Structure 1
Amino acid sequence: MGSGARPQMKLVLFAQGVGVAQSVWRSPRTQPERLHSLGYWAELAQLAEAGRFDAFFIADTLNLSPSITTDAITRPDPVALLSALSAVTSRIGLVGTSSTTYNDPFTVARQFATLDHLSEGRAGWNVVTTAIAAAAANHGSTDLPDHGDRYQRAEEFVDVVTALWEAWDEHAVVADRASGVYADGDLVRSIDHHGDHFHVRGPLNVPRSPQGRLPLAQAGSSGPGMDLGARVGNLLFTTQVDLEQSQAFVADVKRRAAGFGRNPDHVKVLPGLTPILGRTEAAARELAEELGSHVGEQATLQFLQQSFGGVDLSGHDLDAPFPDIRSQLPAHASVSRPELFIRTALSEGLTLRQMVQRIGLSIGHRSFVGTPDQLADEMERWFTAGGADGFVILPADLPVGFADFVEEVVPRLQARGLFRSEYRGRTLWEHLDD
């Protein structure tokens, strides 16, 4: 970004199936029959690129959703899908999820370096830890590591991956036909890593990619998660539903980044946002009611139970006050998401049914129901007040809900000078620095 230029918010599309709302596949605004066609995903990525989004993001889990009988929740492999999308897009960043709990660093480093080559410098890795019993069972394990242990492994995992990416010097590939030298061996190094979790010799069998060290996304909002994001993250995805709390989160994580010797401005914090739009407030509310009519209580209850590390909620009265289950959370459970859900329910006096209905539309992220002008106002308010460096857009329904955002909200942000009208660079790093 040039000196004196107004800061630009960052926008990332969270592309999940037919949308994040539970059972939204039943809405005529969705296309569940196309979920496994490249054309469907290509159209979404191209729409995001037409909207000048910074990145197209694919989340992941390593198990089949327990609500598969009523919900169209399947998970294509992020790296395979993004590799295909690299051929039908040219500018938008391509960010995929890969778990540090059930993968190995060499494989992940190689996959994302390859994606970066294929996309000519547009790849990014979303670093996650995994705390789901079904995922553990799919990888030959019956035990789930404690929260702290998962993050210790993740810290070392990231260090090994970045070392592997940097093992090839930028000028290592000579490709001199006359001399017969393809690569300068002195510029390709082993990393000889020996740590608590990994022993990796290296180097990669893939040359240095266009970006070298790829941008990293991270979504942990617990203490260890925030430390990991502050130390190595470039895009921090977070769940925030209140501006003051989001301001405090942004200030905290940037303070931590400075403590690690980083420029806090290089850490972009993006709260999740589910927009439900109408030409009038009444039309937006009507759409929210229509989408909400498809939400299955049992499917959402299963999502909540999984978020709580498997705590059984089936015995609780849906119309009774939300139960304070903090003492029941297992050691392997995630910390930030359960804490947010429980705090929100208790502070607002919600019943279990009301909490289920709220989460059903936006998987716990902040939803906004209103007109495009009202949403642009709200996004500007959060951005200028230091509550966000941008937003992860999680459409309740795809593709229509996202098309509405690109066609109606993006031009309003551009007219206010808050968001780019054209890409200035070609790589994901360049987008983040713009």
Structure 2
Amino acid sequence: METAHRQRSMHLAVFAQGLGAAHSVWRSPRTAPDRLHTLRHWADIARIAEEGRLDAVFIADALVLPDSIGADVGERPDPVSVLSALSAVTSRIGLIGTSSTTYNDPFTVARQFATLDHLSEGRAGWNIVTTAIAGASGNYGSAELPEHEARYARGEEFVEVVLKLWDSWEPGAIVADRAAGVYADRDRIHEIGHRGGHFQVRGPLTVPRPPQGRPLLAQAGSSATGLDLAARFADMVFTTQYDPQAAQALVRNVRALAEVKGRSPFDVKILPGLTPVIGRTESEARELADELGSLISPEATLAFMRQAFGGIDLGRYDLDEPFPDLRDELPAHAGKSRPALLIGTALEEKLTIRQMIERVGLSIGHRCLVGTPDQVADDMAHWFETHAADGFNIIPADLPHGLRDFVEQVVPRLQDRGLFRKEYTGTTLREHLSG
């Protein structure tokens, strides 16, 4: 329990996935597929989020084109490129992007996010992932995806190197003394001399120390190995949770792990994913959910689940059969937490494969909340006040309309309850997350 003097404030990020999280949502008149790859589309999302005083806009990544591209949006632009453009059309909102530790180099990632932090004047964040999609290996000259534990061993050293590179410039290293002809104090710029099991990096970085010192670190994934990495490094953890009691247990676990790592347990903010589908009345919200759900292509969602399950094809089953227990069939390279949650939920609730497709297809497997603005705000408040979450990663089913619905109708209710800021009080992403 947090001390009485510590005032908690809810933290909100928006997961900006293309035209929205719902599969085949490009077919909805609420979306504009022709704008997907324009700055105007991404700027609209970021500006709406900033109007709502959200902590950050988050852009995930995928390193392989999905099999469902014939029927559904599946392309992914480079997050750092998009966020760099957004830094010029926003002024306060944080900018978090995914970059893989499996198919990248620490020097490149350190330089990219240090540059983004400079361009945005301290609003950059790196979402650390290890890439569990098997098809990505073929795009990076590898025969196969490394196993889970091997990916995280590399990932942990990767983060260590990035942090050393960000620290390779001390504060005040840029002198810029015109009269003396001294631009930089060489004594404040250091080689890092890293020699580890996966990387040998000399340094220093070619970019001065970022405005935040270290850009914010986010982590997605709730496996034991993933949470151990999060407890050591992350400022923000994106999770998938359906049940508040299970979410409370995860929060307690991460806090305890952070203390073991020598950190304050409250330095790590836990943000479960949430897809709100909002209507002025409950029936109107249900109609919108049904409308978006009717567009879902089972083939597209099956392709998504095949990736999540490490290549296991659920299309080989009758979709109206009970969801199979696949826990012992998951390959070693597959992700851990998401498949376990989806399989466990399907078995516990006795769902058919088709029912699970419908659930996953609207929210990419995250919790979907269909209701009025008050109902959505009530639910979010309950999770927050019972310490099941420090906030939420909002994952609109459609963009940008779904985000605008949330910002215009739910955020004011959270503000009126004193749970969420009415104005930004800081200028950097790290300051946004400090409450």
Sort the TM-score into its range (normalised by shorter chain): over 0.9
Q: How many angstroms apart in 2 are the aligned matches of 1:82 and 1:315?
A: 40
Q: How many angstroms apart in 1 are the aligned matches of 2:45 and 2:330?
A: 37
Counterpart residue number, 1:339: 340
**Residues 1:299 and 2:300 are matched in the alignment:** yes
Superposed CA deviations along residues 1-27 of structure 1, whole A, max 9, x for unmatched, are: x99463110000000011000001100
Q: How many angstroms apart in 2 are the aligned matches of 1:200 and 1:219?
A: 26
Superposed CA deviations along residues 305-342 of structure 1, whole A, max 9, x for unmatched, are: 11000012221110111011111111000000000010
Q: How many angstroms apart in 1 are the aligned matches of 2:164 and 2:105?
A: 14
Counterpart residue number, 2:236: 235
Code of the aligned partner of 1:94: L
Counterpart residue number, 1:96: 97
Q: How many angstroms apart in 2 are the aligned matches of 1:24 and 1:172?
A: 49
Change (3 A) 1:242 1:313: same
Counterpart residue number, 1:183: 184
Counterpart residue number, 2:250: 249
Counterpart residue number, 1:40: 41
Counterpart residue number, 2:277: 276
Counterpart residue number, 1:431: 432
Q: How many angstroms apart in 1 are the aligned matches of 2:29 and 2:329?
A: 40
Distance apart, 1:220 and its partner CA: 1.8
Q: Which runs of 4+ in 1 moved over 3 A?
A: 2-6
Counterpart residue number, 1:356: 357
Code of the aligned partner of 1:138: N
The RMSD of aligned alpha carbons is 1.2
Counterpart residue number, 2:168: 167
Counterpart residue number, 1:218: 219
Counterpart residue number, 2:70: 69
Q: How many angstroms apart in 2 are the aligned matches of 1:3 and 1:406?
A: 30
Counterpart residue number, 2:207: 206
Q: Percent identity over the alignment?
A: 64
**Residues 1:422 and 2:410 are matched in the alignment:** no
**Residues 1:403 and 2:404 are matched in the alignment:** yes
Secondary structure of 1:392's counterpart equals: strand
Secondary structure of 1:67's counterpart equals: helix
Q: How many angstroms apart in 1 are the aligned matches of 2:18 and 2:162?
A: 29
Q: How many angstroms apart in 2 are the aligned matches of 1:205 and 1:315?
A: 51
TM-score by length of 1: 0.99
Q: How many angstroms apart in 2 are the aligned matches of 1:383 and 1:133?
A: 35
Instruction: Could you tell me which runs of 5 or more consecutive residues in structure 2 were left unpaired when the two chains were aligned.
Output: none
Count of aligned residue pairs for this structure pair: 434
Counterpart residue number, 1:140: 141
Code of the aligned partner of 1:302: A
Kept in 2: contact 1:277–1:284 (CA 8 A):
yes
Instruction: Could you tell me which runs of 5 or more consecutive residues in structure 1 were left unpaired when the two chains were aligned.
Output: none
Q: How many angstroms apart in 2 are the aligned matches of 1:186 and 1:83?
A: 31
**Residues 1:373 and 2:383 are matched in the alignment:** no
Kept in 2: contact 1:126–1:216 (CA 8 A):
yes
Q: How many angstroms apart in 2 are the aligned matches of 1:284 and 1:314?
A: 30
Residues 127-136 or 239-248, more deviating: 127-136
Residues 214-223 or 5-14, more deviating: 5-14
Q: How many angstroms apart in 1 are the aligned matches of 2:147 and 2:134?
A: 12
Kept in 1: contact 2:71–2:300 (CA 8 A):
yes
Distance apart, 1:142 and its partner CA: 1.4
Change (3 A) 1:90 1:3: farther
Q: How many angstroms apart in 2 are the aligned matches of 1:9 and 1:65?
A: 34
Q: How many angstroms apart in 2 are the aligned matches of 1:421 and 1:65?
A: 40
Counterpart residue number, 1:28: 29
